Amino acid sequence: MKKKAISFFTFGLLLIIIGAIGKFFQWDQSMLFIAIGLTFESLAIIIFAWNHLKK
């Protein structure tokens, strides 16, 4: 499960970076990329916390 949390974290980080670059180039969907990235980041934090609480 730890690898799944790391995978969600890195994918979310990638989406946030793409959204930030898109914001710089004034893409219309850049905020959507940032929002989805933050969702994946939140999911990774929840999985990480759940694994620690389960122990």
User: Can you give the pLDDT of all 55 residues of the chain as single tens digits?
Assistant: 667 778 888 999 999 999 999 999 999 999 999 999 999 999 999 988 888 888 7
Neighbours of 54 (CB within 10 A): 7
pLDDT of residue 5: 75
Domain ranges of the chain: 2-54
Q: What's the whole-model pTM score?
A: 0.83
pLDDT of residue 52: 85
Interatomic CA distance for residues 37 and 20, integer angstroms: 11
SS (H, E, C) the chain: CHHHHHHHHHHHHHHHHHHHHHHHCCCCCHHHHHHHHHHHHHHHHHHHHHHHHHC
pLDDT of residue 1: 60
